[in-house]
């Protein structure tokens, strides 16, 4: 398929992108947006004081000495300083927006896999207007390329980080809610045996609320989190007055001496709990960094200093719950419950976003997604993910029956995600931001060393509960790796199966046969909008060898159907997709108008409205167009047909304004009778040669492709998330030998 596309399309989109990137938010608007990030981003790290000290010193163990408390709190304070404040906020401010927080996207959404997509983007990304707008002011992408041999290892590393991020979502809900509910046992010891049932009741209510969307409740997230942080900061200040000597914890040498004196390296796994959720500083724009620096960080430091003071003064009574403060207990308890539910909600929503990203990147089956908001982009609900999270979370709470054991599992997932992102961020600095090697290496040596310390400490907790997120992560990693591999084979088949139009469709040239054909009643011939409006062209299916003794089929005339057909493809390659070839073979007919649609998912969260489509005319078949649809990994796979028709009209007007008006009228009329032609692949495994074990490997390969992937692709077809009704879709069977 050959197309002709005007360069002015690209120029217009570049101008649009520059105009959008010039927007700056300041003053009151910046303060309001920063405030709104509290509930969305910091509810997780904000609820950490509920369980951090118990993660360091068990409630069933002895009360630590004064120097041990000061040393442990010092480790917490400096962990908060080095990792959330310095690693994310300070480097972000020093090297510009997105240097280590975003995958080359101004939206700043994503995670480990989005970072990988920034380093190894799809090859078609380099020549898109979106790429031009994102790379404005940078050196050419082709100047510095990451090693191709690292692609698969880094993909597996990114998928592992993404898997553990989703495991983190399960554990956040389990640990936060259980720890908050457990606080009631301090005031009412008689209900200590009911902590697990009460926690499960809260979790069930939380997950059952997901199908209704969180848009109506989200307005309260920021105020509740704000009040919660204000309360723990206030109680922290009050508690500090009981033992001002706790300020010695601000000296980092106290943390170092604590580990030297106690030689208790495992304590780091408890300190790690203080920074759970700091990966949420992959925040949007500068709003998250402002709110963290000015409010969240000081509140948390005051809270931990206050908890340390209380532990020194009255350790026996407060070790089970360091947030107990006299008459304020019940107020703190209520807001603790609300804050943990918000933290759990944030992680559930993040899991939905991650799954949507992985589905769009073809690393997971296309689960059904439901939009929960008509106004806000990205608010989605994925039923299979929600109910799976609910079951796993409830099983974990019931099985562990102890928040201390849950925290062991929680820390390992967080530490591994942090270590994963540090490696990917250091590579982004070189291959995306084009900073000198020394910058990325320095970043990795310092922050990677800190992450490595925490990861090593949490790794020792594997026998004590950390095996749970490891098991969940490895299971998810296996599923995603398998689906990525199988989909990659299917996409490869799609690329190889594409053919040029003139390879199987021929015409008899422009000739006046309309009246003759109409009289014979053999076929319907529709006049083409060529330069000569009276000229018509008959199209035929190219003959091929028949099944009998090498005989050649005759030319088969193609009827013109008064519809607009959208032929969906997969690969970003030249040539018509297999769906068109199969349609022509099965129904010898040509639609009056046709669109060869290729969807390209870019390593950015969202693609702006005006940048979604690039349209080109198919020169060899009048009335047909090639359309590239660009999606961000958080965009829904919706087809905006009216926007495509407008783009076609603009293209035709530039190329031939004389006929554009009538063509547009016909195109709009036919678009009301649009039909989606989609391929339905029946996969077959092809043999491969792998030495002496070829028969065994071919058998395993056949089972994986034909029995596992083949059945899953039927259960989760690519059209499961489409908005087009089934009666507007035609499935064309294609046998894919992969």
Looking at beta carbons, which pairs linking 434-440 to residues 24 or more positions away fall under 8 Å? Answer: 434/138, 434/139, 434/143, 434/144, 435/95, 435/99, 439/95
Distance between start and end Cα atoms, the chain: 24
Residue 428 DSSP class: H
Residues of the chain with confidence (pLDDT) below 70: 1-31, 33-34, 36-37, 40, 90-110, 122-143, 183-192, 214-219, 279-288, 316, 318-329, 373-378, 402-405, 408, 508-537, 542-555, 571-573, 720-724
Quote the distance between the C-alpha of residue 223 and its chain's center. 27
Model-level pTM? Answer: 0.79
Examine the domain organization and report whether 362 and 502 are in the same domain. Answer: no
Examine the domain organization and report whether 560 and 700 are in the same domain. Answer: yes
- Please enumerate in sequence order all residues whose Cβ is within 8 A of that of 237, keeping only pairs 6 or more positions apart, or say none: 302, 306
Examine the domain organization and report whether 480 and 530 are in the same domain. Answer: no
Examine residue 141 and state whether it is found in any structural domain, yes or no. no
Examine residue 139 and state whether it is found in any structural domain, yes or no. no
Examine the domain organization and report whether 572 and 455 are in the same domain. Answer: no
Examine residue 378 and state whether it is found in any structural domain, yes or no. yes
Distance (Å, whole) CA 4 – CA 616: 5
Examine residue 123 and state whether it is found in any structural domain, yes or no. yes
Kindly report the CATH number assigned to the domain that includes residue 173.
1.20.1740.10
Quote the distance between the C-alpha of residue 603 and its chain's center. 10
Strands of 512-588, DSSP E: 536-541, 556-557, 559-569
Examine the domain organization and report whether 290 and 406 are in the same domain. Answer: yes
pLDDT given at position 184: 67
Examine the domain organization and report whether 510 and 402 are in the same domain. Answer: no
Question: How many other C-beta atoms lie within 10 A of the C-beta of residue 314?
Answer: 15
Examine the domain organization and report whether 459 and 551 are in the same domain. Answer: no
Quote the distance between the C-alpha of residue 406 and its chain's center. 26
Instruction: Give the residue carrying structure tokens 């998912």.
Output: 601
- Please enumerate in sequence order all residues whose Cβ is within 8 A of that of 98, keeping only pairs 6 or more positions apart, or say none: 92, 104, 105, 106, 108, 433
Examine residue 450 and state whether it is found in any structural domain, yes or no. yes
Q: Is the Cβ–Cβ distance between 126 and 626 less than 8 Å?
A: no
Examine the domain organization and report whether 467 and 534 are in the same domain. Answer: no
H or E element in which residue 679 lies: strand 674-684
Examine residue 562 and state whether it is found in any structural domain, yes or no. yes
Examine the domain organization and report whether 241 and 281 are in the same domain. Answer: yes
pLDDT given at position 378: 58
Angle between helix 383-400 and 195-208 (nearest 10) = 180
Distances (CA, A) of 292 to 89, 280, 715: 8, 11, 44
Our CA angle for 63, 69, 73, nearest 5°, is 135
Instruction: Give the residue carrying structure tokens 């927006």.
Output: 97
Examine residue 341 and state whether it is found in any structural domain, yes or no. yes
Examine residue 137 and state whether it is found in any structural domain, yes or no. no
Looking at beta carbons, which pairs linking 330-334 to residues 24 or more positions away fall under 8 Å? Answer: 330/187, 331/231, 332/183, 332/231, 332/232, 332/235, 333/180, 333/183, 333/184, 333/187
Q: Rounded to 10 degrees, what is the CA torsion of 662, 663, 665, 669?
A: 140
| DSSP-derived secondary structure for 648-672 | HHHHHHHH-HHHHHHHHHHHHHHHT
CA-CA-CA-CA torsion sign (135, 137, 143, 144): negative
Distance (Å, whole) CA 33 – CA 73: 32
Examine the domain organization and report whether 520 and 477 are in the same domain. Answer: no
Instruction: Give the residue carrying structure tokens 């307005």.
Output: 219
Query: Considering its fold, how many domains does the chain have in total?
Result: 2
Q: For residue 442, what are its two tokens?
A: 């320095």
Examine the domain organization and report whether 565 and 458 are in the same domain. Answer: no
Distance (Å, whole) CA 223 – CA 35: 8
Examine the domain organization and report whether 468 and 504 are in the same domain. Answer: no
Instruction: Give the residue carrying structure tokens 């993910």.
Output: 385
pLDDT given at position 609: 79
Distances (CA, A) of 631 to 135, 360, 416, 639, 642: 18, 9, 30, 10, 17
Distance (Å, whole) CA 638 – CA 374: 14
Distance (Å, whole) CA 383 – CA 505: 44
| DSSP-derived secondary structure for 98-126 | TTTTSSS-TT----HHHHHHHHS--GGGG
Alpha helices of 672-728 — where are they, by DSSP H? 694-702, 710-715
Distance (Å, whole) CA 21 – CA 118: 19
Q: Rounded to 10 degrees, what is the CA torsion of 544, 547, 552, 554?
A: -80
Pick the last residue of a domain from 437, 470, 489.
489
Pick the last residue of a domain from 470, 489, 508.
489
Question: How many other C-beta atoms lie within 10 A of the C-beta of residue 294?
Answer: 12
Question: What is the extent of the structural domain holding 649?
Answer: 498-737
Alpha helices of 374-501 — where are they, by DSSP H? 383-400, 403-431, 437-459, 467-497
Residue 506: phi and psi, rounded to 5, are -125, 160
Q: Is the Cβ–Cβ distance between 363 and 480 less than 8 Å?
A: yes
**Exposed/middle/buried for 28, CB within 10 Å: 0-12, 13-18, 19+?**
exposed
Question: How many other C-beta atoms lie within 10 A of the C-beta of residue 414?
Answer: 27
Pick the last residue of a domain from 445, 469, 489.
489
């Amino acid at each position: 398929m050959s197309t002709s596309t005007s360069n002015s399309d690209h120029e217009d989109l570049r101008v649009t992108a520059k105009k959008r990137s010039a927007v700056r938010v300041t003053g009151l608007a910046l303060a309001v947006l920063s405030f709104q990030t509290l509930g969305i981003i910091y509810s997780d790290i904000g609820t950490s004081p509920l369980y951090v000290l118990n993660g360091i010193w068990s409630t069933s163990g002895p009360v630590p000495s004064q120097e041990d408390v000061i040393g442990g709190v010092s480790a917490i304070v400096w962990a908060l300083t080095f990792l959330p404040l310095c690693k994310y906020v300070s480097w972000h401010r020093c090297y510009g927006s997105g240097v280590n927080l975003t995958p080359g996207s101004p939206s700043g959404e994503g995670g480990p896999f989005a970072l990988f997509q920034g380093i190894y983007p799809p090859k078609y990304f380099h020549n898109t207007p979106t790429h031009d707008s994102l790379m404005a002011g940078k050196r050419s992408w082709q100047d510095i390329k990451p090693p191709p041999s690292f692609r698969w290892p880094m993909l597996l590393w990114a998928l592992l980080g993404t898997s553990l991020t989703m495991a983190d979502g399960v554990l956040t809900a389990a640990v936060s809610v259980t720890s908050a509910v457990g606080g009631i046992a301090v005031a009412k010891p008689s209900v200590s045996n009911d902590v697990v049932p009460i926690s499960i009741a809260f979790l069930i209510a939380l997950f059952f609320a997901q199908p209704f969307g969180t848009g109506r409740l989200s307005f309260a997230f920021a105020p509740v989190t704000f009040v919660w942080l204000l309360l723990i900061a206030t109680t922290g200040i009050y508690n500090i007055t009981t033992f001002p000597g706790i300020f010695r914890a601000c000296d980092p040498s106290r943390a170092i001496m604590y580990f030297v004196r106690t030689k208790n390296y495992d304590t780091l796994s408890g300190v790690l709990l203080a920074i759970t959720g700091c990966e949420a500083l992959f925040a949007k724009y500068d709003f998250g960094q402002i709110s963290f620096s000015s409010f969240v960080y000081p509140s948390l430091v005051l809270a931990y200093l206050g908890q340390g003071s209380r532990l020194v003064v009255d350790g026996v009574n407060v070790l089970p719950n360091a947030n107990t403060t006299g008459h304020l207990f019940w107020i703190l308890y209520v807001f603790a419950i609300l804050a943990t539910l918000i933290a759990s909600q944030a992680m559930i929503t993040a899991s939905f976003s991650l799954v949507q990203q992985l589905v769009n990147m073809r690393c997971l089956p296309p689960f059904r997604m439901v939009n929960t908001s008509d106004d806000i982009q990205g608010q989605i609900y994925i039923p299979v993910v929600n109910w799976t999270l609910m079951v796993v979370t409830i099983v974990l709470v019931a099985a562990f029956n102890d928040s201390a054991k849950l925290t062991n599992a929680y820390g390992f997932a967080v530490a591994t995600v942090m270590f994963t992102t540090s490696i990917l961020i250091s590579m982004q600095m070189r291959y995306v931001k084009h900073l000198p090697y020394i910058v990325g290496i320095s970043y990795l040596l310092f922050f990677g060393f800190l992450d490595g310390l925490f990861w090593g400490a949490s790794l020792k907790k594997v026998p004590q509960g950390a095996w749970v997120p490891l098991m969940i992560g490895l299971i998810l990693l296996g599923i995603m790796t398998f689906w990525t591999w199988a989909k990659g084979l299917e996409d490869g088949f799609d690329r190889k199966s594409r053919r040029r139009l003139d390879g199987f469709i021929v015409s008899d040239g422009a000739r006046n046969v309309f009246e003759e054909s109409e009289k014979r009643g053999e076929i319907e011939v529709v006049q083409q909008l060529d330069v000569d409006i009276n000229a018509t062209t008959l199209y035929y299916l190219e003959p091929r060898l028949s099944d009998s003794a090498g005989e050649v089929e005759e030319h088969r005339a193609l009827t013109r159907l008064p519809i607009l057909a959208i032929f969906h493809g997969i690969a970003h390659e030249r040539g018509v997709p297999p769906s068109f070839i199969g349609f022509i073979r099965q129904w010898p007919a040509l639609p009056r108008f046709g669109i060869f649609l290729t969807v390209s998912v870019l390593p950015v969260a969202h693609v702006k409205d005006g940048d979604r489509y690039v349209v080109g005319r198919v020169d060899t078949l009048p009335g047909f167009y090639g359309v590239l649809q660009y999606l961000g990994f958080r965009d829904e796979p919706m087809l905006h047909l009216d926007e495509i028709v407008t783009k076609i009209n603009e293209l035709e007007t530039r190329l031939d304004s004389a006929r554009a008006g009538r063509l547009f009228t016909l195109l709009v009329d036919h678009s009301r009778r649009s039909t989606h032609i989609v391929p339905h692949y029946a996969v077959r495994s092809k043999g491969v040669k792998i030495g002496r074990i070829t028969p065994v490997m071919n058998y395993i390969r056949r089972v994986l492709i034909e029995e596992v992937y083949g059945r899953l692709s039927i259960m989760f077809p690519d059209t499961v998330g489409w908005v087009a009704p089934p009666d507007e879709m035609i499935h064309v069977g294609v046998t894919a030998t992969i």
